[in-house]
Chains A and B, each alone.
Chain A
């Protein structure tokens, strides 16, 4: 099956620093990638939709200047949490959309756990 990887798996950083998380589709090209944030034992919250070669579309309430998304190629999207604060500590998950139709499958990455001290 299709594989999506994320790097790093864990990151601990000091408040005020920036953290970059990579999401890669390993064996297929993904025109669209999604970034989610997961709260403990709760739903995935969609943060933004990332389309290759264009600006990301952010969900309401998500600060685009704080969560910078770059989708430089069909297999890589990056999320940069700028000037991270403890409240940004969370589990960040990406998914890659395989196919052209909305009904095609999303494949999820394993997630990145961010802890901001």
Chain B
């Protein structure tokens, strides 16, 4: 079956760095997405990886290894506003999105 795994919850300190991992097993691969979702709001797009390697975008970076079925989202210089859920989603060979359950990130002062 198809499966996306990511930790349920993580806690980090303001100003620090946190890495949220995502592992996947899907039938085919057409890209991996990371979304940020604040409570009660729609998700917002953070990154899209389809090739192996690191994509950097400001304080946020996303890494992909297709051979390992693994991705991570790296958040640097954490701010209180980064407290949110982070969703990993993989597009399979049928261009369907397989969603992870999301990682709730708690930032402490």
A110 in contact with B97 (CB, 8 Å): yes
Contact yes or no, A93 B97, CB < 8 A: yes
Interface residues of A in 38-80 (CB under 8 A from B): 41-46
- Counting contact residues on chain B (CB < 8 A from A), the size range is 20 to 34
Complex Cα gap A111–B50 (Å): 19
Partner of B40, one of A10, A93, A102, A111: A102
B97 and A111 form a contact (CB under 8 A)? yes
Cα–Cα, bound, A9→B48 (Å): 22
Closest residue on chain A to residue B87 by CB atoms = A108
Interface size (A, Cβ < 8 Å)? 22
Question: What 0/1 pattern do residues 3 to 19 of A give for CB contact below 8 A with B?
Answer: 00000011000000000
Among B48, B94, B97, B102, chain A packs the most CB atoms within 10 A around the CB of B97
Interface string of B60-100 (1 = CB under 8 A from A): 00000000000000000000000001010100001111110
A-B contact pairs, 29 of them (CB 8 A): A1-B101, A10-B94, A36-B42, A43-B35, A43-B44, A44-B42, A44-B43, A44-B45, A45-B42, A46-B42, A91-B95, A102-B39, A102-B40, A103-B39, A103-B40, A105-B85, A105-B102, A107-B99, A108-B87, A108-B89, A108-B97, A108-B99, A110-B96, A110-B97, A110-B99, A111-B95, A111-B96, A111-B97, A113-B95
Interface residues of A in 79-117 (CB under 8 A from B): 91, 93, 102-103, 105-108, 110-111, 113
Q: Are B45 and A42 in contact (CB under 8 A)?
A: yes
Complex contacts, B96 vs chain A, CB 8 Å:
9, 110-111
Nearest-neighbor residue (CB-CB) of B91 within chain A: A111
Q: Mark out the residues of chain B between 15 and 52 whose CB falls within 8 Å of any chain A CB in the assembled complex.
A: 31, 35, 37, 39-40, 42-45, 48
